[in-house]
Structure 1
Amino acid sequence: MTWHASDELLRGYAAGDDLAADVVWAVEVHLESCAACRARLAAGADAVAPLLDQVWANLHPSPAPAPTRRGRWLATWATPAMAPWLVMTALVTLLALLADLLIPRPFPSLALLLAPIAPVAGVAAAWARGLDPAHELIAATPRAGLYLVLRRTLAVLAVVIPLLAVTTWTSPLRWLLPCLAFTVATLALGGFVGVRRAAVTLVGGWGVLVIGPSLVTARPPAVLEPAALGVWAAVLVICAAVVRLRSGVYTRLEN
Structure 2
Amino acid sequence: MTGTEASKSGWHVAEADLRAYARGELAPPLLWSADTHVGSCADCRSRLAAVSDPVALDDGWERLDAELDAPRPGPGERLLVRLGVAEHTARLLTATPVLRRSWLLSVALLLATTVAVVRAVDAPALFLALAPLLPLGAVALSYGPVLDPTYEIAAVAPTHGFRLLMIRTVAALTASLCLNSLAALALPGYGLLAFGWLLPALALTAAGLALSARLGPLAGPGLVGGAWTLLMAVAALHPAHTPAAFTTAGQSVAAALAALATFLLHRARDRFDTQPY
The TM-score normalised by the length of structure 1 is 0.69
* Alignment partners' CA distance in 2, 1:164 and 1:92: 10
Q: CA deviation at 1:55?
A: 2.4
Distance 1:64 1:140, change over 3 A: closer
Q: 2:144 aligns with which of 128, 133, 144?
A: 128
Give the secondary-structure state (helix, strand or coil) at the position aligned to 2:158. Answer: coil
Distance 2:175 2:57 in 1: 50
State the SS of the aligned residue for 1:130.
coil
CA 1:173–1:64: 2 relative to 1, 3 Å? closer
- Which protein has the larger Cα radius of gyration, Structure 1 or Structure 2? 2
Please, which moves more after superposition, 187-196 or 136-145? 136-145
2:116 maps to which of 86, 94, 98: 98
Code of the aligned partner of 1:214: A
1:207-254 CA distances to partner (integer Å, 9 max, x unpaired)? 1222x1233322331111122222112111111111111111112455
Asked if the contact 1:188/1:239 (under 8 Å) is kept, the reply is yes
**SS of 2:67's equivalent?**
coil
Q: Aligned partners of 1:88 and 1:253: how far apart in 2?
A: 32
Q: Does 1:53 align with 2:22?
A: no
2:97 pairs with one of 55, 75, 81: 81
Counterparts of 1:201 and 1:253 in 2: how far apart (Å)? Answer: 19
Q: Tell me whether 1:186 sits opposite 2:202 in the alignment.
A: no
Secondary structure of the structure 2 residue equivalent to 1:126: coil
* 1:142 alignment counterpart: 158
Unaligned runs of 5+ in 1: 1-48
1:233 aligns with 2:251: no
Following superposition, the deviation at residue 122 of structure 1 comes to 0.8
Provide the alpha-carbon RMSD of the alignment: 2.7
Q: Distance in 2 between matches of 1:168 and 1:252?
A: 40
Distance 1:63 1:168 in 2: 49
Asked if the contact 1:116–1:182 (Cα under 8 Å) also holds between the matched residues in 2, the reply is yes
Mapped to 2, the partners of 1:191 and 1:90 lie a distance apart of: 30
Q: Is the 8 A contact 1:129 1:254 kept in 2?
A: no
CA contact (8 A) 1:85 1:122 kept: no
Change (3 A) 1:222 1:120: same
How far residue 173 of structure 1 moved from its aligned partner, in angstroms, is 4.7
If asked which structure has higher relative contact order (CA below 8 Å, sep 6+), I would say: 1
Please give the TM-score of this superposition, normalised by the length of structure 2.
Answer: 0.64
Q: Distance in 2 between matches of 1:185 and 1:225?
A: 20
Q: Give the drift of 1:143.
A: 1.1
Q: Answer yes or no: is the 8 Å Cα contact 2:162–2:272 preserved in 1.
A: yes
Write the letter of the residue equivalent to 1:217.
Answer: H
Q: CA deviation at 1:94?
A: 1.7
Compute the displacement of 1:146 (Å): 1.2
Q: Secondary structure at the match of 2:148?
A: coil
Give the direction of change, closer, same or farther, for the CA distance of 1:74–1:56 in structure 2 (3 Å limit).
same
Residue in 2 that maps onto 1:221: 243
Instruction: Determine which of 126, 149, 168 is the counterpart of 1:152.
Output: 168
Structure 1 residues 173 and 63: alpha-carbon distance in aligned structure 2, compared to 1, 3 A threshold: closer
Cα distance in 1 between the residues matched to 2:165 and 2:271: 11
Q: Aligned AA for 1:213?
A: V
Cα distance, 1:231–1:224 mapped onto 2, change above 3 Å = same
Q: Residue 157 of structure 2 aligns to which amino acid in structure 1?
A: T
Judge conservation of contact 1:125–1:131 (CA < 8 Å) in 2. Answer: yes
Deviation at 1:73, TM superposition (A): 3.5
How many residue pairs match? The answer is: 202
Structure 2 counterpart of 1:101, one-letter code: R
- Paired residue for 1:35? none
Deviation at 1:175, TM superposition (A): 1.8
Contact 1:85 1:125 in 2 (8 A): no
Q: Which amino acid aligns with 1:148?
A: L
Structure 2: give runs of 5+ residues left out of the alignment.
1-51, 78-86, 186-190
Q: Does structure 2 conserve the Cα–Cα contact (< 8 Å) formed by 1:139 and 1:251? A: no
